[in-house]
Structure formats: structure tokens, C-alpha cells
Chain A
Amino acid sequence: GENVEQHPSTLSVQEGDSAVIKCTYSDSASNYFPWYKQELGKGPQLIIDIRSNVGEKKDQRIAVTLNKTAKHFSLHITETQPEDSAVYFCAVYSRNDYKLSFGAGTTVTVRA
């Protein structure tokens, strides 16, 4: 199956600063890369996704970049706010086994 590594495992930022989370994957057949946000006691919620034919995608303060050659993709959150505090998961979909594999998660804390 796909091996997805996510770094860092915890991230503390000052309100207004940027946060960056990086994920690497192993299967070159992977073609879909979503990011999920999970708040305490809730299920993961999709915040942004990117497909392999696109290098970058942006939605307001959130952006994702994809480097297919290096097999890594990153989540960028700008102008962080306290409500951005949550656990963030990257995921990778492989066409080889039709499954979505998740990273271990990053706990983001935004300090006021």
C-alpha cells in the first residue's frame, strides 16, 4: 500500500503567521491529494484538494502545492487565526489499489 509521511507532528504558530505542513508519498500512480481538518470530537472535514495534473491550488488563506517528481505536497495556511487550531491530515489516493491512505496528522496550535 501507499506510504504517506507527514511532518511536523505538532506545529505552534503565532496568530497572523503562516503554517506549512508537508507530506511525502511513495507510489508514482497516486493522482489525488486531499487535506482534511479535524476538530476535537468531530470527523475530518475536507479543506482543499489537488489532482496530479495541477501544481498549485489556492482557496482564500489556504493553498496546496504538489511536486510530482519529488513525490511531495504541502499545505500552506497564511494569516493564521485561533480557529485554525486543529489536527490536519494529508491523504493520497493511488490508482493501483483504489484506496485513500492518510498521513499520521499534524496538531496545529495558533497562539493568540
Chain B
Amino acid sequence: NAGVTQTPKFQVLKTGQSMTLQCAQDMNHEYMSWYRQDPGMGLRLIHYSVGAGITDQGEVPNGYNVSRSTTEDFPLRLLSAAPSQTSVYFCASSPLGGFGNQPQHFGDGTRLSIL
């Protein structure tokens, strides 16, 4: 049981490039989410999904896209990377419960630098 797996662990991009951060979980959790972590600001919700085919915006969605074609996978896409998107990105999953009020299982993050 691997839990939540994020790839890659590190990535450096140039401004304007695109990329996809991968997230996979093997716990059959319905709820999955993406956060970004910046110094002094805690974790901020980017997008979340309550099941395959259903996604919604979080607190800071601009510049990011998501899709959920399977229960297991929830990729995060940066369409045109900007320096302001330099951050550590965490994916989390949990049983559905009340749409997020269940213990979240986090991956170990992707450290992304935009030059």
C-alpha cells in the first residue's frame, strides 16, 4: 500500500513552459486535492475532486488545470509556467465523508522552480 505518490519530486521549468504534476493514490479514496505551500502561508487549496469526472476550484486556481478520469489519478497541469508558481505542491486524498472533513493523506510533494 503506497498511499499517495507524487511525481516528479523536483522540477525546474522556464517561464512559459507547461508541465503536469502527477498524483496517484491506491486507497480507493473519492476525495483528492492539490495544495501549494509557500513560506509563511501554510497550505492553500488549488483544486479538488470528489470523484471521477468531478472537479472544482479551491482558493488559488488561476494558472492551473485539473482532470479526474479515474479514482486513482488526479494530475495538475501548469499551462504556461510563471515565476509566481514556484512552490512546493502537495496532493492529498481522503474518503469522501463530508467533502473534505476527513483525515487527509498527503504525498511527499513536488518542489517546483520556475526561472
* Interface, chain A (partner B; CB < 8 A): 1, 4, 6, 9, 31-32, 34, 36, 41-46, 49, 89, 93, 95, 98-105
Assess the A44–B59 pair: CB atoms within 8 A: no
A and B contact pairs by CB, cutoff 8 A, 25 listed? A1-B59, A6-B42, A32-B98, A34-B103, A34-B104, A36-B104, A41-B109, A43-B4, A43-B108, A44-B90, A46-B104, A95-B98, A95-B101, A98-B100, A99-B48, A99-B58, A99-B59, A99-B100, A100-B45, A100-B100, A101-B45, A102-B42, A104-B40, A105-B40, A105-B42
Question: Contact mask B99-115 → A, CB, 8 Å, 1/0?
Answer: 11101111111000000
Give min CB distance, B89 to chain A, whole Å.
Answer: 10
13 further contact pairs, Cβ within 8 A, besides A43-B4, A95-B98, A100-B104 = A1-B59, A32-B98, A34-B104, A36-B106, A41-B109, A43-B92, A43-B107, A44-B43, A46-B105, A93-B100, A93-B101, A100-B33, A103-B42
Give min CB distance, A102 to chain B, whole Å.
Answer: 4
User: By CB atoms of chain A within 10 A, which of B92, B99, B101, B109 has the most?
Assistant: B101
Give min CB distance, B56 to chain A, whole Å.
Answer: 8
Q: What is the size, in residues, of chain B's interface with A at 8 Å between Cβ atoms?
A: 25
Q: Which of B35, B92, B108 contacts A41 (CB 8 A)?
A: B108
B41: interface (CB < 8 Å)? yes
Given contacts A99-B45, A99-B59, A104-B42, contact A44 B106 (CB under 8 A): yes
Main secondary structure of the interface of B (DSSP, over half): loop
Give min CB distance, B64 to chain A, whole Å.
Answer: 16
Q: How many A-B residue pairs have CB under 8 A?
A: 63
Given contacts A32-B101, A43-B106, A46-B103, contact A89 B45 (CB under 8 A): no
